[in-house]
Each structure stands twice: as structure tokens, then as C-alpha cells.
Structure 1
Amino acid sequence: MELQNIAMPDPVQDVTHAGLRFFIYATADEMGHASAIQIAREQVQLVEAHGETSLWLMAAPSAFPFYDAYIELVKVSPMLQSALGSTHFFQFDDYPLPADHPATFRYLLQQHLFGKLSRWIPEENIHALNADAQNLEKTCQAYALDLLTHGPDLQLKGMGENGHWGFHEPGVPLDLEPGFMEVDLSDENVAQQMRDHPLLFTDATEVPVKAVSANVALFMETHELIEDNVPQESKGFAFLASYGNEHVNDAVPSSALKQHPNAVVRTTEAAAREWLAYQEHGIVTEGSLSRMVTSLQGESGGQDMEKYIRSTLETMEIPIGAA
């Protein structure tokens, strides 16, 4: 089946704001399906034009709808099957654990995506980030060079509950030299990892405190297309902080996406609820603030989480009021 003949899911809303185009869907499956179609179309065209391409992938539950839809597209599209043989795949980030550890993103990608496409993807085209290497600095430099040698052309991005991009955490400068870095996970990120992977992490002490990640400057090097997928209601605060206005600040790393010339944001009504309310009212209402606190408070406690949200929104110049 030709990819151009596969219909894109219809969004509930199609909005252009702060230099980005936003497609809002009723369900996460529709969101992931739309991104899979668009990335697959671009992928085939790039292989036809240049002989090869590259796809840089987040490894997270936010991407599961994309993975599932992409796998189904491969099954029905001979053109996409052929393009896979000339596509190089790269990771955003990973924990410094052995590759076969179920908490690693190498393992997640193998189980949820690559293992199901092994018939079409040559093993050498899967570029694993060996975050457990002894010489981590050398490994990071080599991986970044490998990535830049092959592109990166296409990127499937996600967003952390605190606005992180990959594991580039809030507060880490956005103007670093493009590359990979060792990072310390924030408390907010640790709490998210427990929510994302409840069977792997039953206690905060089980979440690795360090990881390896590309930085935002490197993510922004993507040439052709960045597709941002944000399906969860728990991402409502991060979505609002990132995209509420045109302001960019390292307090919310994902806010930098607004400066990329070829980026698209796909989300769900649940995730975009507070963002849409802010666009309507021009302020964050107390009701909206309360919902964001409830979705994120976890082990941090309501007061601490409210203080954190208020502080971040103030930094991003997003006002809170009583309307």
C-alpha cells in the first residue's frame, strides 16, 4: 500500500501558535498514528532522494502509540519496508546499566520496536547508546559524531512532566555545545520514571540517579522534521509551560522546540486541556492550577508541587489569576 494513500487521523483541533503547529487528537492512538504516517512518508522520500536517512527516537510510554502504528505501517507498505534497510536509528538517552537490563532504553526499544521489525532493519543500522561504557566521555563523543554523520534527519520527541527533553533537565543551559552528557535526574523526573515504569521502579531508590542524554542543542540539529508526541494528562503542566507563549528558558527545556523551523506538535485533548484554557483566558486559572498539582503531586506533596509549578510558570512569563 502506498503511504500517500493512507489517510491521516482527523485532529479535533488544528492550531498555529508561538511558531508551531499543534494537532490535538481525541486519543493517543490517533496522535501516534498521525506521527507514524508523517515520519514514514518523510523517511521514504529521504531514502529515495539521498540513498539513506536517520530516525532519532525517544524511548518512553509516550512513544508507544507511535511504535504500534509505525509497525503496522511497515507491515502494509513495501516502500517503507525497503526504506528501513537504508535508515539509521539512534537513541536520545539511557541509563548506565547493561543493555539487557529491563530498565534500559536499549531494552525498551528492542522489545517494543526493533525486535518486531528485525526482518527489515539490518542490525548494524541500530545505533545503541552504550551508556554503561567505561570511558563514557569518549563514548558520548563517538555517538554524537556517528549521529551527526548520518543526520539526524527525523526525530520523534517527547516531553517530560517537568518539561525535560530527552534527559536534558530543567536548569541545564540550552546553549551548550551540541553533544551527549551525563546528567543527574531531578526529583520530578524520578517521580515520573516511577509512574512511567511502575513494574520496574516500585520505590524512588530503585530509579538510577544518573543517565546519559543528548542536550537540547544537539536535538535542535535535526534537519528535516521533529514530531513531538505528548499524550498524557500528567504532561499538562509541562505542555503549558513549554508552549503557552513564545518564551524560551532553560527552566523548561522543551520550550526550545519553538525555535526549530520544522517541528510539529501532536497531543491529546487530555494533555492540552490546560494549554487550551490558557489560550482562552489569557491566565492560568486557580482551577487549572489545582488540576495540574493533582496530576503531579505524587510523593512531593501538594504544597511543594504548587510552589514548583507557580515558580516555573512565573519564569516562563505565564500569569496565574483567579478567573
Structure 2
Amino acid sequence: MRIIVEDTEEQFHIAAALEVTKQVVAKPESVITFAGGETTVGVHRELAQLCRQWRIDFSKMKAFTLDEYVGLSPDDPRSVSYRIRHQVLNPIGVQSDHIYMPDSMAEDLQQACSTYDRLLDEYPVDLEILGIGSNGHIGFNEPGTPFHLDTHVIHLASRTTQDKAGFFGAVGSVPEQGITVGIRRIMRSKQILLLAKGKGKSEIIRRALLGPITTDVPASVLQLHPSLTIIMDKAAAELL
């Protein structure tokens, strides 16, 4: 476990973007899983900036998204797929046929999960980028989610819908389900980059990194990964 604590939010964004950039420079054909959410918005912006400044070629890499809201089209600005494409994948020049996203609009969601797992089998993930929810979720793997699952459909916890309410306008507008890469699949990634910022994440980071490994705090399983890097700002790290 490698822990990096940055003094400011800007330094946090830059440090995380540099980790991704170093991966692609070392292996241009890297497979990287991207996460949505507020934590990664600034990271995506800095990654695009590094791409422009250093003229780094991201065209050979393959990108997966970690999760999606069931029922949202990838063209819906509220969808994870839309935000990741427009925040980072398009700006850094990832080829459209190198971008993979779960089909959350499928009539058969279980089949969509199986299809996504087959793609992940074909393209093993070199770097998994994760945020952490205030209840300890990674992806949409909510508290109580078994560790042995691959890609699956899950009902979002009330804590998650409350946290996302501002983005959707109201709690009642947040989709009830998500499709997410499962914890077993996450743990199969060669490297994991966990990102956390803000005082509101300090308690759950303490529990995830220093507490017992339990499905009550899904992120706690990351303690077992052989190549885990955590980047935080001072506020998120204050209880460590």
C-alpha cells in the first residue's frame, strides 16, 4: 500500500493525473478503468491538460467505465458514460472503438453484465481508478455486497442516492439501480488507484484502510491488493 497525501486540492488533482499519465507513457496500450463522481472531475481536467502540454499519445490505450445508472442513455448528460467521455476520454484522444461501457439500457441486464465481463476477460485491466463513497462503496458496490461478484446490477443505497441528489435535482430523480464492475473483478486489476478528497471522506478512509476487512465497508477489501496506491488531500487523510 502506497499512500500519497497532498496539501491542496490542485496538487491532489495533479498527482492523480500524473499516476495515470505515467502508466500510459510506460505502456501506451494500457487498459484503464475510469470512475465518475465529483472526486475525479478535477483529475480528468488535469489529465487533459497534461495531454495537451506534453503531447502524450493516449490513442492506443483502452478505456472502461466502472459503473453506470440503469436506464440512463450514454447520451444523457447525467450518465457516467457521458461525463467520462466528455470530461476526459474525448479530450485526451482515446479512440471511440477503444472505449467500453456497460449497457445500462439493455432489456436483459444480466446478459449485459456477462458481455462486459467477457470484454474485461479479453482486456485485463492495468490500472483501476476508484473513488470512495461516503458509505465505503467502490463503484456501485454498496455495503453488504459480497466480495465474490463480477459485473452485476445493484440497488443503490439510500446514502448514495442522497449523495447524488444534488446532481440529479432531487433524491427521487436518482435512478434506483446501477450496473457496476464487481469487487472480484476490481481486485483482478494489476494496479489500483484509490482517490479521496475532503473532510467528508476522512472517517470512511480511516475505516477502509485501517479497519477490519468487511463487506460493511466494501473499500476495506482493497487492503488485500498487492499494488494499491491511495492519493488524498490533507482533509481526507486527517484521521490516519
TM over 0.5: yes
Higher relative contact order (CA 8 A, sep 6+): 2
Select 1:239's aligned residue among 200, 205, 213.
205
How far apart are residue 269 of structure 1 and its match?
Answer: 1.1
Secondary structure, counterpart of 2:223 in structure 1: helix
Q: Which of the two has higher C-alpha Rg?
A: 1
Q: Distance in 1 between matches of 2:170 and 2:94?
A: 36
How far apart are residue 38 of structure 1 and its match?
Answer: 1.9
What is the CA deviation profile of residues 235-259 of structure 1, one whole-angstrom value per residue up to 9, with x for unaligned ones?
12211210124x2100000001111
Does 2:18 align with 1:73? no
Q: Is contact 2:23-2:30 (8 Å) kept? A: no
Structure 1 counterpart of 2:49, which letter? Answer: E
Structure 2 counterpart of 1:149, which letter? Answer: E
Q: Distance in 2 between matches of 1:64 and 1:98?
A: 20
Give the structure 1 partner of residue 83 of structure 2: 108
Secondary structure, counterpart of 2:185 in structure 1: helix
Structure 1 counterpart of 2:173, which letter? Answer: E
Aligned residue pairs total 239
Does 2:229 align with 1:255? no
Q: Distance in 1 between matches of 2:129 and 2:106?
A: 25
Structure 2 counterpart of 1:131, which letter? Answer: S
Select 1:56's aligned residue among 23, 33, 50.
33
Select 1:230's aligned residue among 160, 172, 196.
196
Q: Distance in 2 between matches of 1:221 and 1:110?
A: 24
Identity of aligned residues (%): 21
Higher helix fraction (1 or 2): 1
Note the 1:1-323 alignment, pairs <5 A.
20-47=1-28, 52-78=29-55, 80-81=56-57, 84-96=58-70, 97-117=72-92, 120-176=93-149, 179-194=150-165, 198=166, 200-223=167-190, 225-245=191-211, 247-273=212-238, 275-276=239-240
TM-score (norm 2): 0.95
How far apart are residue 77 of structure 1 and its match?
Answer: 2.3
Q: Is contact 1:53-1:151 (8 Å) kept? A: no
How far apart are residue 192 of structure 1 and its match?
Answer: 1.2
How far apart are residue 109 of structure 1 and its match?
Answer: 0.8
What is the CA deviation profile of residues 157-210 of structure 1, one whole-angstrom value per residue up to 9, with x for unaligned ones?
11000000100000111133xx2100001111111112xxx2x42321111111
Secondary structure, counterpart of 1:116 in structure 2: coil
What is the CA deviation profile of residues 53-74 of structure 1, one whole-angstrom value per residue up to 9, with x for unaligned ones?
2110111110112101111111
Q: Distance in 1 between matches of 2:196 and 2:108?
A: 34
How far apart are residue 115 of structure 1 and its match?
Answer: 3.0
Detail structure 1 runs of 4+ shifted over 6 Å in the superposition: none
Gaps of 5+ in 1: 1-19, 277-323
| Structure 1 residues 204 and 244, CA gap change in structure 2 (3 angstroms) | same
Q: Is contact 2:143-2:218 (8 Å) kept? A: yes
How far apart are residue 260 of structure 1 and its match?
Answer: 0.5
| Structure 1 residues 236 and 201, CA gap change in structure 2 (3 angstroms) | same
Secondary structure, counterpart of 2:27 in structure 1: helix
Over aligned residue pairs, what C-alpha RMSD do you find?
1.4
TM-score (norm 1): 0.71
Structure 2 counterpart of 1:123, which letter? Answer: S
